[in-house]
Every structure is written in structure tokens, then in C-alpha cells.
Amino acid sequence: MKKAKLILDRDYIVSAVDPRIYGSFVEHLGRCVYTGIYEPGHPLADESGFRRDVLELVKKLGVPIVRYPGGNYVSGFRWEDAIGPKENRPRRLDLAWKTTETNEVGIHEFCEWARKAGSDVMYAVNLGTRGPEDARNLVEYANHPGGSFWSDLRKRNGAADPFGIKLWCLGNEMDGPWQMGSKTAYEYGRVANEAAKMMKWTDDSIEVVACGSSSTTMKTFGEWEYTVLSECYENVDYVSLHRYYGNPHNDTPDFLASTMDLEDFIRTVAAICDAVKGRKHASKQVNLSLDEWNVWYHSHEQDEQLHKREPWGTALPLLEDVYNFEDALLVGLMLITILKNADRVKVACMAQLVNVIAPIMTRPGGGAWAQTIYWPLLHASTMGRGISLKTVLTSEKTDTKHYNDVPVVDAAAVQAKDGTVTVFAVNRDLEEPAELTLDLRSFGLAAPKKHIVLHHDNVNAVNTEDRPEEVKPVEVPCRLEDGKLILPAASWNVIRF
Ligand code: AHR
């Protein structure tokens, strides 16, 4: 039996949890939009063509904000292509994913879908092939009440009221050579600054996110953030972080230790923000938007073949990772890491929402089901709102191929408005259960009300349309003896007091 101890006190807090950390992402990529959220001919489609079964699964997740419309896609996107009568909208080649975009869904349709899902929209502007002028026109189109060219055009296109989009991304992954119109840090920093200024002059209630590095693995990581922020610090509110992990060599302990890298990534970018703040003698703090995160590797090979077979198709099954049980554990660990850093991470978007590296899968004309990774996200989103508590955690440690001193147990805790304390904990050990001693100090030694466990004996188990509940959480009896609770081997746990 492994051992760990968690101390919580109502006076030790990290920060209020910004609900936007449970955000998601919908890109015009693969089947995320077409046959994902939108499939007019489907038996469950509503009057606008949105799949009701998908909306139900999204609503259960409680997704506060959805990033849209990309991703790599946005860096070549002309937003005006996707407004006005559908029959007049051009079909365009999307160079990011080598597909053809029909533009059937654009800002009007997506904002309608988001309203039905109960989500706000986080809109990314194209700073790849376009620039500040198009970005400020789009803000005017979306948010200005009326009486100007773009806002009146919106009205003529059927939206009398502004969409009221409050959070905007200044492009996407502009450091990546795979991006249309990629830039050096200095070039991007200048453009981002000018775009941010003009967008905020159009609507001073918005917040904007500058692009940070697309991964910790980029050679320019660190230098990129410093240079970009040196150019635009005064006019931006957040800097983005993107991070995907994978287990291509089937080394589960090393895979489950990947959040050591995520922790470092977050703390390093926060430190760089503060270094720029110091150098500029600024009082404002720039926070972090982890606006793409997930596991992504299962579909790489399949996508290569698909691109060779079917270039320029529409709604191709791209990036359709089928997630297994160990992926759900890593997603749980990523959520724990985000919660522990709630003082700096104010927005986070699991990439993506439907079909494309997603917690929800659909079959065209068929069913919709929850992948394994749906469950930790659902738990954190529905039970992890309130105050993120400091977790003073001691745990046995192990070494893996790429990481040293990896705690066997990792945990985060949140106190909700009604006083309920929820602990999210993962036992990384694949063989042995862990005994977690809970010292709740000022909370008193209350008995847990609920203990939910996500576990499967096979780390490769997956959910499919035929077996949608192969991996699903179960409630177990709350056994707390001498303040000790047992976390099964390889398990995601939600413990509520
Ligand atoms: O989410 C898939 C892709 O990953 C996004 O389009 C891009 O921003 C990132 O590289």
C-alpha cells in the first residue's frame, strides 16, 4: 500500500476558481462542427440543424466558454465568408487541415448554438493571413449595438442584438511554422499590440489573449513569451499556453507523470509575465489562458493516411482519438494541475469538444456518447467551483523515464459556496492502492459524504457507441478510518465533505 497525506485548512487558499477553466474548444476541423454539433439531416437535429443529443452531453458538462473557430483553421479564415445567406457563402480550401470548408456555420450559427449550450464564446481572430483591420471590423460586427456599417450588416443578417463576445484570442499559435502567416516573436508582438488596441477601442469591455508558445517543446519557448509581452503587455489580459501529451511508447508511468511538465510550463510562463511586468514598472498582472490542452496522439497515423487518400474533403474524420482509461487519468491530473494554479490560470479549454480529440463522439446519422475523458472533466466542472484550497500534500514518490520525484498521489481541493469541500485525487500507481490521510484542520474531521471512483482494470479500455459505459465512474462506500481513505490503484477519485 502506498501512502500519502493531504492537509487542508480554510485559511490556506490558492484563489477563487475562475469557472472559465472548464472551457472547451470548437474548431472548423474534421467532424467537430459538421456532423459534430451541426448535422441538419440527423433525426435529433433541432430547427437550426444542431444535434440535440450532443447539446445534452455538452450541457451536462457545464461548459462555461467555448473557443471558436480555431485553431490552425483561423489563421486563414475570412469571417465574412460565413455570414449572410448560406447559399451565397463560398466554399474555400482550408490550408491548415487540407480540407474544403463550406462556411455553412459561421458566427451567427455558432453564437446561437453556444446560447443553447449555456456557454459564452471566446472568439479567435485571424492574425495569420489578416490583421488588426479585419479584427476590429469583426468586433464591431459582433459587439457594436448599431448605427455603423458592420453592426448594421449584422442586423440585416438577422441578429438585432449584439453577440456580446467578451473574450478574444489574438490569433493562434503564431510561433508555429505550420501556421498560415506565422511570425517571429517581435513581428507578432507588434501586430498583437495594434490589434488589441483597435479591438478595445471598438469595445472597451472586451479582454484579449496574446499567443504564447504552442508547446514547451518549441525552441523559442520562453524567449517568445518575453519578446511578445514586451511589445503588447499594456494592451493584453492573458497569454495563451497550449499543451498536448501522448503515450506513443506505451510507458504509462511516464505518461502519467506528464503533468510535472505542465506544472513547470504554467509556473515558467507566469514568471515571464511577472518579469515583463517588473521591467515595465507596470501594476497590471497578465494571467494565463491554457486554451488548448488534452491528450493527442492516437489518431496521428490514421490522419496521415486519410490526408493522402482524401485531400480537400469536407467533414473528414480527422483527429478522432479514441480515448482509453489511462487518458482519463491524465486528464484528471491535468485538471488537478490547473486547479492548483488557479491563481494564474483563469481560462482553460480542453481541446476539443466533439469528435476532434474530444470528450464527446458522434456517428453521422447515429448516436452520441461520452469518451473516458468526459468523466473527470464533468466532475471537475460540476464540483470544482468555488475557492481552490492550498493542498499541502506529502506522498511517496517515484522516478519515470523523463521525470524524477513524481508523487504517487496528486490532489487538488475546492471549497464551494455552500461550504462543501471536494477533493480530486489520482493514484498514479498501477498496482497498489494508496492510503490517503486527510487532515482537514479547521474544517474539523467530517466524514466524507461521497466518494466517486473512476477505475478500470485495463488501462487501454475505451468507450464506444456499442459499449458507451465500459469506463464510467461509480460511487463507492465512504470509508474513512482514522482520517484515512483508500484510493484504488490507477484511479481518479472525487471525495466530498
Ligand atoms: O486542436 C488541434 C490543433 O492543435 C489546433 O488547431 C492548433 O491550434 C493546435 O496545434
What domains appear along the chain, each with residue ranges and CATH number?
18-385 (3.20.20.80), 390-496 (2.60.40.1180)
Q: What residue's CA is closest to ligand 1, atom 1? A: 351
pLDDT of residue 400: 98
Q: How far is the CA of 476 from the centre of ligand 1 (A)?
A: 38
pLDDT of residue 53: 98
Query: Does residue 352's CB lie within 6 angstroms of at least one atom of ligand 1?
Result: yes
Q: How far is the CA of 231 from the centre of ligand 1 (A)?
A: 25
pLDDT of residue 479: 77
* C-alpha grid cell, residue 270: 507566469
Query: Does residue 71's CB lie within 6 angstroms of at least one atom of ligand 1?
Result: yes
Q: How far is the CA of 208 from the centre of ligand 1 (A)?
A: 19
- Pocket probe mutation, ligand 1, options 290, 292, 353, max atoms within 8 Å of Cβ: 292
pLDDT of residue 308: 86
Residues contacting residue 237 through CB under 8 Å, at least 6 positions apart: 207, 208, 209, 286, 287
Which ranges of the chain have pLDDT less than 50? none
Q: Is the pTM of this model over 0.85?
A: yes
| Atom number, ligand 1, closest to the C-alpha of residue 27 | 6
Judge whether 49 and 73 are in contact, CB under 8 Å: no
Select from 337, 233, 211 the least CA-distant residue to 285: 233
Judge whether 124 and 68 are in contact, CB under 8 Å: yes
Judge whether 50 and 111 are in contact, CB under 8 Å: no
* C-alpha grid cell, residue 219: 525552441
Q: Compute the distance between CA of residue 455 and CA of residue 459 in angstroms, rounded to an integer.
A: 9
pLDDT of residue 445: 62
Q: Compute the distance between CA of residue 359 and CA of residue 334 in angstroms, rounded to an integer.
A: 14
pLDDT of residue 328: 98
Select from 303, 296, 371, 295 the least CA-distant residue to 30: 303
DSSP 233: G
CB atoms within 10 A of CB 271: 13
The predicted-structure confidence for 224-271, as pLDDT tens digits, reads as follows: 999 999 999 999 999 999 999 999 999 999 999 999 999 999 999 999
pLDDT of residue 266: 98
Q: How far is the CA of 9 from the centre of ligand 1 (A)?
A: 39
Q: What residue's CA is closest to ligand 1, atom 4? A: 71
Query: Does residue 259's CB lie within 6 angstroms of at least one atom of ligand 1?
Result: no
Q: State the amino acid at position 184 in one-letter form.
A: T
